[in-house]
Amino acid sequence: MKKFLIFFLTVFVCFALQCTVFKALSFANISPDLLLIITSCVGFMKGKKQGMYAGLLCGIIVDIFFGNVFGFYSLLYMYIGYVNGFFNKIFYPEDIKLPMILIGASDLSYNFLIYFFLFLFRGRTDFVFYLLHTIIPSFIYTILVTIILYRILLRINEYLENSERRSNSKFV
């Protein structure tokens, strides 16, 4: 119960920060996607199933507040969490290279899929403009914020795992 409460609180705080503080600190109307960072981190820290659930929750929040079609962002985030869960076996908490690569790849694939489904299908074919003005700045900004947010999420994960170990040792 404690894990779920802390997870929901973390998602709520990151969503609030993403919609307020980071919108004020945006460059050319681009802000980092904190919910994407959370989804990716849960995926490679906890596995495919938890990554998928985290992605579903984060995607539903984005769908409710920003989506035109309900379920589009939920599906994207859910797939991102699931795919990042495949890297759970090779995840080492002290190594920041894998999280940076996975979160960067997740951000790039997320933005490419948004371009493909929301812009290309509507006849907006200026990919170079979208790449230079949205995808690359979003990628850079998300990677820079990942350096800080990853450490915070890692500490929360370590706290929850230690707390779970202590509670399990009391019952043995």
Each of the 172 residues of the chain gets a pLDDT tens digit; together they read: 788 899 999 999 999 999 999 888 877 788 889 999 999 999 999 999 999 999 999 999 999 999 888 999 999 999 999 999 999 999 888 889 999 999 999 999 999 999 999 888 777 788 898 899 889 999 999 999 999 999 999 999 999 888 888 777 766 5
Whether the CA torsion 157, 158, 160, 161 is positive or negative: it is positive
Contacts of 11 (CB under 8 A, 6+ apart): 35, 38, 54, 57, 58, 61
Q: Global pTM?
A: 0.91
- Distance, CA of 135 to CA of 60 (rounded, Å): 22
